[in-house]
């Protein structure tokens, strides 16, 4: 099996991470469906033993218990702390009725980080992710606070998660102009069943030097192989979506299952292999509640889709994107190149054009 220590550079930075990042939203049973602390530690140990170095959590995951489990484990494995790329997130409020308990203000960021460091039992985190978007807090306040924390040695890098493309681009431009810590990566929802980030977020990330770290690569288990058009009832109902997959999703799910059967691998491995090969993607966040799920997902490192298989999956899952993304992608080459092939991509010409100059 391909090892996790074939690292990739995350965005326009000097930070290297494994092709799969271990997501730990499942660490802790506080929400009724996660892993026990003991099973969580087994999953973490197995991931690190395989050469994985990128671990992702958040202050809100299982109400802080996820961070505590990771902190307890690393406290007993102190030699591993510096080789782990440990990321956590801020924004979510863990204090009822406290208007400053969450969000991206200076007061909120500092207290959230101090609490995360306490739970994680470490002096610093490697990536500190903004976990959502607050239109009221000035970007300058958030970015300056994060830059101060980088200067203080409490965080190493800055990432954005689930923030609109325009707000991320604005923040990245402000940080660059002010000489503050840059945004090196994005976390976003991305899978064969959720590709709308291809309209704005991923092109922005590629243009601005940000690595892309997709979450929910199996769309909450819909791409795990449990579902098909002949079986819409989940085998595990703890986190199942009410009503199961839609008819449109089942078309994609059946195509993934067909490729998996053709290759003799699992549907989850096909979905993960497809995502790893998408433009802009650096590392995919994978989560597991059991050690066998982790091992099965890591098997996707050995799966290589053929060009025909990848094309078939691309075409059957092509999303309808917000204006003007589809207009730019489909019409712009015709308007710009008028039938010429550029960068290996042919274009069409407008009706009535000729090789000679315009007649009017």
Are the beta carbons of 113 and 144 closer than 8 angstroms? no
* Tally of CB atoms within 10 A around 184: 24
Smallest CA-to-CA distance from 269 within 242, 230, 232, 309 is with 309
170, two tokens: 């604005």
- Beta strand 211-215 with 183-189: parallel, antiparallel or unpaired? parallel
Residues whose CB is less than 8 angstroms from the CB of residue 164 and which lie 6 or more positions away in sequence, other chains included? 133, 200
Run of H or E including 38? helix 37-49
Q: Are strands 16-17 and 8-9 parallel, antiparallel or unpaired?
A: antiparallel
State yes or no: is 128 an active-site residue.
no
Q: How far apart are CA 145 and CA 106, in angstroms?
A: 6
The CA distance from 226 to 267, in Å, is: 9
Task: Catalytic residue, from 47, 61, 124, 227: name it.
Answer: 61
Which residues participate in catalysis according to the annotation?
Answer: 61
């Amino acid at each position: 099996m391909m090892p996790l220590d074939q690292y990739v550079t995350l965005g326009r930075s000097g930070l290297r991470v494994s092709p799969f990042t271990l997501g730990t939203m499942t660490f802790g049973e506080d929400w009724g469906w996660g892993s026990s602390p003991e099973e969580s530690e087994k999953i973490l140990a197995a991931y690190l033993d395989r050469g994985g170095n990128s671990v992702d959590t958040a202050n809100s995951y299982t109400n802080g218990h996820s961070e505590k489990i990771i902190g307890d484990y690393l406290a007993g494995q102190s030699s591993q702390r510096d080789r782990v790329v440990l990321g956590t997130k801020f924004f979510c409020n863990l204090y009822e009725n406290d208007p400053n308990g969450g969000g991206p203000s200076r007061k909120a960021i500092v207290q959230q980080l101090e609490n995360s460091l306490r739970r994680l039992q470490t002096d610093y985190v490697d990536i500190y992710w903004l976990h959502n978007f607050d239109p009221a807090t000035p970007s300058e306040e958030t970015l300056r606070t994060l830059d101060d924390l980088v200067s203080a040695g409490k965080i190493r890098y800055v990432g954005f998660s689930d923030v609109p493309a325009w707000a991320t681009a604005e923040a990245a431009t402000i940080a660059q102009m002010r000489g503050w810590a840059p945004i090196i990566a994005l976390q976003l929802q991305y899978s064969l069943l959720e590709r709308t980030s291809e309209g704005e977020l991923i092109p922005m990330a590629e243009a601005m030097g940000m690595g892309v770290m997709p979450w929910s690569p199996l769309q909450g288990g819909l791409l795990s192989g449990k579902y098909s058009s002949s079986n819409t009832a989940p085998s595990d109902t703890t986190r199942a979506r009410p009503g199961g997959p839609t008819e449109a999703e089942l078309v994609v799910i059946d195509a993934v299952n067909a490729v998996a059967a053709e290759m003799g691998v699992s549907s989850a491995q096909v979905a993960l292999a497809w995502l790893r090969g998408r433009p802009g993607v650096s590392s995919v966040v994978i989560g597991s509640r059991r050690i066998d799920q982790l091992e099965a997902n890591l098997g996707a490192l050995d799966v290589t889709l053929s060009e025909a298989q990848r094309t078939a999956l691309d075409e059957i899952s092509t999303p309808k994107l917000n204006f003007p993304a589809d207009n730019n992608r489909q019409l712009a080459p015709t308007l710009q190149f008028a039938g010429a092939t550029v960068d290996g991509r042919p274009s069409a010409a407008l009706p009535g054009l000729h090789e000679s100059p315009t007649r009017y």
